[in-house]
Amino acid sequence: MITDHPLRYATVNELHARPFPSLDVPCTAVYVAIKEPLEAVNRDRAKDRAHLIDLLDRNGSAHPQPDATHFSGTIGRSDLKWESHTEFVTYSAFTRGVSRRPFDPSEAEVFPDDWLGAAPGTRLTSVLIRVEAMPGDEDEMLARMDDWFVPESLAISRVVDGAAVIAGDFRIDPAGHMRFVVFVRPGTGPRRVGRIVQRLCEIETYRATSMLGLVSGRDLSKRLNTLDPELSALVSGLDNTEPSPEAALHKLLTISAELESLAVQFSFRFGATAAYEAIVTQRIEVLREERVRGRQTFGEFMMRRYDPAMRTVKSAERRLNAMAERAERAAELLRTRVDVERSSQNQKLLESMDRRADLQLRLQRTVEGLSTVAISYYAVNLAAYMVEPLVHRWHLSHGQIMAMLTPVVLVAVWLMVRRIRNHLD
């Protein structure tokens, strides 16, 4: 029998790890996302699990499996769904029925205040979703929406081939919750209702998470506004004699190092923002929105209010990359200038060495002439002492002997010195 890959079942099970809830109409959904202040790589997932178990123990519910990243169970009258994501954890509570008062803050008491206060992080988003049967009169439905939400920012859409009408104003109410309503067409299945509610939760969660990139983008822009004039002044002064190329290169390397540090610091947040933006766009697309009486849709609301923020983030990221490239090109120019100047200095040094070598050669030749005389002087005296006994019978004086030997010795010494010099050359 063939052996399965060790991760085969794990990867297949991951496809079914987070099923959509199955919701009956009417019902209420309470959704909370909690994020630690630190980045995802520093999250303590054991604290998230302990926080979940605390909620389950309060309601006498079963615990999740060790190292689980998702869990479904019951807490009191509500069905609980818990998911651990890369940067945050989410809690969803689905309760049958709706309160008499729309979006009553007491609906969120399924998650106790003291339990929320002990969360290992901060609240990223909190959502109340009211699910009702669609009224037969559309005017009545729109009147309710106008009464519950702020008309200026209200977004309304008929979604999933007319299965439901969703609405929300993307504002935080006095109790700290974002509010949405889902009017479900009669005959719509519970799983389809669950998918619509889940999409709304995901849209709000990933919208909130991606907006963190806007804060990072603004912080980055402030720091780039400080570095940009310095880099521009440095590049503009590349053809000046002051400051020296070495000093300019050192300053440029300092700017480049800071830009690289900023890139490392903000790369995770910008990458996550791009991913979350894509998820928000995709979640709205799968709703297959249709306009309701000329009202703005969720897609139009995001285009007017959300897309400019994402463009700001992308602009900050592009500006950082452009400045890093400018700094790199300037560094190359400065290094080229330094190399050229050093080559010129080396050329001048070689020319100076050539002149000194020429002077040394002339001095050497002068010394060679003097050494010929000196050697000849001693050689003549030695030769005179050697020859004088041999020519004594000719009655030649010592001066006469030296006079005859001097030309011969001079010529011999000169030829010897010349031969040695030619051999060395």
Please say if the pLDDT value at position 223 is more than 70. Answer: yes
Residue 105: cis peptide before it, omega within 30 degrees of 0: no
How far apart CA 202 and CA 180 sit, in angstroms, is 13
What is the residue-averaged pLDDT of the chain?
Answer: 87
Average pLDDT over residues 122-144: 94
How far apart CA 379 and CA 383 sit, in angstroms, is 6
Please say if the pLDDT value at position 196 is more than 90. Answer: yes
How far apart CA 89 and CA 46 sit, in angstroms, is 12
The DSSP line for 379-401 is HHHHHHHHHTTTTGGGT--HHHH
How far apart CA 72 and CA 79 sit, in angstroms, is 7
Please say if the pLDDT value at position 389 is more than 80. Answer: no
Q: Is residue 26 within 8 Å of 188, Cβ to Cβ? A: no
- Residues of 71-108 as b/e, b for ≥16 C-beta within 10 angstroms? bebebeebbbbbbbbebbbbbbbbbeebeeeebeeebb
Average pLDDT over residues 68-86: 92
State the pTM of this model. Answer: 0.77
How far apart CA 84 and CA 90 sit, in angstroms, is 7
The DSSP line for 97-154 is S--SSTT-GGGGGGS-HHHHHT-SSEEEEEEEEEEEEPPS-HHHHHHHHHHHS-GGG-
Average pLDDT over residues 211-217: 93
- Placement of tokens 């009553």 in the chain: 104
Classify residue 23 by its DSSP letter. Answer: -
Handedness of CA 15, 284, 108, 104 (dihedral sign): negative
Classify residue 292 by its DSSP letter. Answer: S
User: Binning pLDDT at 50, 70 and 90, where does residue 9 land?
Assistant: confident
How far apart CA 184 and CA 162 sit, in angstroms, is 9
Residues whose CB falls within 8 Å of the CB of residue 331, separated by 6 or more in sequence, listed in order:
249, 252, 253, 256
- What pLDDT, on the 0 to 100 scale, is given for residue 112? 95
User: Binning pLDDT at 50, 70 and 90, where does residue 41 land?
Assistant: low
- Residues of 240-268 as b/e, b for ≥16 C-beta within 10 angstroms? eeeeebeebbebbeebbeebeebbeebee
Percentage of the chain exceeding pLDDT 70? 90
Average pLDDT over residues 279-302: 95
Average pLDDT over residues 138-156: 94
- What pLDDT, on the 0 to 100 scale, is given for residue 103? 95
- Placement of tokens 């085969």 in the chain: 8
User: Binning pLDDT at 50, 70 and 90, where does residue 142 land?
Assistant: very high
Burial class (CB in 10 A: 0-12, 13-18, 19+), 363: exposed
Closest to 206 (Cα-Cα) out of 198, 195, 194, 196: 198
Please say if the pLDDT value at position 301 is more than 70. Answer: yes
Q: Which residue has the higher pLDDT, 352 or 204?
A: 204
Average pLDDT over residues 144-163: 94
76: alpha, beta or left, given left = phi > 0 and alpha = psi -120 to 50?
left
293: alpha, beta or left, given left = phi > 0 and alpha = psi -120 to 50?
left
Q: Take residue 39 and report the two structure tokens written for it.
A: 């980045």
Q: Is residue 224 within 8 Å of 324, Cβ to Cβ? A: no
How far apart CA 196 and CA 165 sit, in angstroms, is 10
Please say if the pLDDT value at position 205 is more than 90. Answer: yes
- What pLDDT, on the 0 to 100 scale, is given for residue 17? 67
Q: Which residue has the higher pLDDT, 400 or 308?
A: 308
Show the CA angle centred on residue 42, arms to residues 38 and 44, nearest 5°.
Answer: 100
User: Binning pLDDT at 50, 70 and 90, where does residue 322 land?
Assistant: very high
How far apart CA 181 and CA 128 sit, in angstroms, is 8
Paired with 89 in beta bridges are 34, 84
Strands (E) across 173-293 are located at 178-184
How far apart CA 408 and CA 412 sit, in angstroms, is 6
User: Binning pLDDT at 50, 70 and 90, where does residue 406 land?
Assistant: confident
The residue extents of the domains of the chain are 12-188, 211-348, 365-424
Please say if the pLDDT value at position 243 is more than 70. Answer: no
- Cα torsion through 264, 268, 274, 280, rounded to 10: -160
pLDDT digits (tens, 9 = 90+) for 156-195: 999 999 999 999 999 999 999 999 999 999 999 999 999 9
Q: Is residue 238 within 8 Å of 330, Cβ to Cβ? A: yes
